[in-house]
Amino acid sequence: MDGNRERSLWRETSPLIETDADLPIDADVVVVGAGLAGAATTLMLSSRGHRVALLEAHRVGARTTGDSTAKLSLLQGTTLSAVLEGSGPATLRAYAQGNEHAQLWLRDRLHGTGAEERRTAYTYATGPEGDEALRRESAACALAGISARLEGPGDIGLPFPVTSSLSLPDQSQLHPMAVLAQLLRDARRHGAAVVENCRLTAVHDEAEGLVIETPRRTMRTRLLILTTGFPALDRNAFFAQLTPSRQFVVSYRLPDGIDPPEGMYLSADPVTRSLRTARGADGETLLLVGGDSYVPGRDPETAERLASIDRWTTETFPGASRTRWWAAQDYRMANGRPFMGRVAGHAGRVLAATGFAKWGMTNAVAAAMALAGHAEDDPPAWAAPFAELSTGRHGAAEMVKANASVAAGLARGWVNPEQSYPDAGDGVRARIRRRGITPVAESQVDGRVCAVSAVCTHLGGIVRWNSAERTWDCPLHGSRFAPDGKVLEGPAQRNLAQKGRSA
Ligand SMILES: Cc1cc2nc3c(=O)[nH]c(=O)nc-3n(C[C@H](O)[C@H](O)[C@H](O)COP(=O)(O)OP(=O)(O)OC[C@H]3O[C@@H](n4cnc5c(N)ncnc54)[C@H](O)[C@@H]3O)c2cc1C
Ligand code: FES
């Protein structure tokens, strides 16, 4: 039971990804999380002769990577100006260098596979706020050595006028499941084991290394690498530094005779829109539209966000018809830059990567390069700033703001947990009510009645109903649960407790 979300186009059209039935007894390195960061790390280390086991709680690509919009681009909306503002010019240049190396590495692996298509990337504005953001981004690109071109009003292939745009030719759009298939095929050729439905549940130290616990069995390793989106063992209190951001992605068929825009687009306006094309299951060209990010658990009406993407698309491309929709989330560090380094404790034997802020097609691969380097005590020079958790003044202010709203959300949830989400005509009902002191989350979806604890198993937030996806989402740090309490993603690693059938 995975809520209401449809399978992403990528997972629907995924090539077969072969995996291994058995978990080995030991490995030199255990990598946890089979998204892009885990797959790339596994390939890099196994190709250098390490015995690697990759563990995945669900299926390969089941979370952000398999649900991404998957643009492999050095032009990244307004990210470079954010890195500059948060961390300064030296870190900005290191960020760009890591991303360039990552793009080259991935393209080399994908050559001839059909998983990558070259496109011009555009960041565009349709008003003064966006124009100002583009001017700042253009200056950051110049500092970073990325030769993006800033232009005023003009035609960039969209069916509406833009007031300014930044463009960078020869970027790529990916089929992310085909990418995972290719990387893992190569990793298994180098002897790596890839095991699905195998969640890391605990880690213990012993003299020579680590003991890894999973529901299948325990195994031993010298080094553990967490590529789980939100790091699964939160020894660095990542929850205080990471903010989740969730977003819908919708695919549309355009009327006969109307071609979707050729490039890859992202708006710098206050309401973002992300566009690219993709092939449907029968080979037709579809338009993908993403946008309207929100913090999971903090939006009272997620179905309305999905509807607003529909309205925008059908106004902009008359006759467009929706073929499917899905949603995904990614995490941003308070200091605005990704983390790729050692986590506290375990004698330095645990590494992690996170905080790709919706630019993980390059950053997850850059993280793999950094982590594989750390594993051999020889990280690339550009990776140094990303191994540090320091926030700086700007990041500290961001962290205080984020944690104040988390604390307020926690208090609000416990003081006033009761919520009722009326049947919107689809037979779906959900409510939270107190039974004794425990708030209980009750739902009826497709006739199935569930009652589970409304208390998030991460740090005790009270979950909220996600009306579009029909899931229980925690407003504190973005953990998400199916109506039957099964943990789907985020920092929580345990299911919501069962509370019997609702009255
Ligand atoms: C809507 C959206 C659009 C995006 N578009 C772009 C884009 O156009 N370009 C771009 O560069 N980036 C984009 N991104 C970002 C990019 O997709 C992500 O940064 C990247 O896919 C993250 O990869 P990952 O390997 O870190 O995480 P994931 O792909 O989420 O992989 C983590 C895996 O860990 C597993 N896991 C978790 N806990 C455990 C455990 N205890 N044991 C075992 N396994 C576990 C999960 O099941 C999951 O499969 C987008 C993100 C979103 C949300
Ligand atoms: S995600 Fe942290 S308390 Fe729920």
Q: Both 293 and 442 in a single domain?
A: no
Q: Both 143 and 287 in a single domain?
A: yes
144 close to 80: Cβ distance less than 8 angstroms? yes
Ligand 1 site, residue 491, Cβ cutoff 6 A: no
The last residue of a domain, from among 312, 328, 344: 328
The last residue of a domain, from among 302, 328, 354: 328
In this structure, the residue with its CA closest to atom 1 of ligand 2 is: 477
130 close to 186: Cβ distance less than 8 angstroms? no
Is residue 352 situated within a structural domain?
A: no
Cβ neighbours, 10 Å, residue 66 = 25
- CA 352 / ligand 2 centre spacing (Å): 19
The type of residue at 499 is K
Question: Which CATH number characterizes residue 481's domain?
Answer: 2.102.10.10
The last residue of a domain, from among 280, 309, 328: 328
Helix (H) or strand (E) holding 483: none
Cβ neighbours, 10 Å, residue 400 = 13
Ligand 2 site, residue 458, Cβ cutoff 6 A: yes
Q: Both 312 and 447 in a single domain?
A: no
Ligand 2 site, residue 296, Cβ cutoff 6 A: no
- CA 272 / ligand 2 centre spacing (Å): 27
Is residue 469 situated within a structural domain?
A: yes
Is residue 446 situated within a structural domain?
A: yes
Is residue 129 situated within a structural domain?
A: yes
Q: Both 322 and 428 in a single domain?
A: no
489 close to 3: Cβ distance less than 8 angstroms? no
Q: Both 152 and 299 in a single domain?
A: yes
Q: Both 168 and 270 in a single domain?
A: yes
Domain range for 465: 416-489
243: number of CA atoms within 13 Å, CB side?
22
Number of domains in the chain: 2
> What's the pLDDT score for residue 392?
66
Q: What is the SS3 assignment for 458?
A: coil
Encode 250-286: b = buried (16+ Cβ within 10 Å), e = exposed. bbbbbeeeeebbebbbbbbbeebbbbbbbeeeeeeeb
Question: Which CATH number characterizes residue 259's domain?
Answer: 3.30.9.10
- CA 433 / ligand 1 centre spacing (Å): 33
Q: Both 318 and 424 in a single domain?
A: no
Cβ neighbours, 10 Å, residue 394 = 16
In this structure, the residue with its CA closest to atom 30 of ligand 1 is: 64
Is residue 237 situated within a structural domain?
A: no
pLDDT, one tens digit for every residue, the chain (503 residues): 444 557 999 999 999 999 999 999 999 999 999 999 999 999 999 999 999 999 999 999 999 999 999 999 999 999 999 999 999 999 999 999 999 999 999 999 999 999 999 999 999 999 999 999 999 999 999 999 999 999 999 999 999 999 999 999 999 999 999 999 999 999 999 999 999 999 999 999 998 899 999 999 999 999 999 999 999 987 778 889 999 999 999 999 999 999 999 999 999 999 899 999 999 989 999 999 999 899 999 988 899 999 999 999 999 999 999 999 999 999 999 999 999 999 999 999 999 999 999 999 999 999 999 999 999 999 999 999 999 987 666 666 666 666 666 666 666 767 777 888 877 778 889 999 988 888 999 999 888 999 999 999 999 999 999 999 999 999 999 999 999 999 999 999 999 999 975 44
- CA 52 / ligand 1 centre spacing (Å): 20
Helix (H) or strand (E) holding 391: none
- CA 35 / ligand 1 centre spacing (Å): 6
Is residue 264 situated within a structural domain?
A: yes
Is residue 317 situated within a structural domain?
A: yes
Q: What is the SS3 assignment for 308?
A: helix
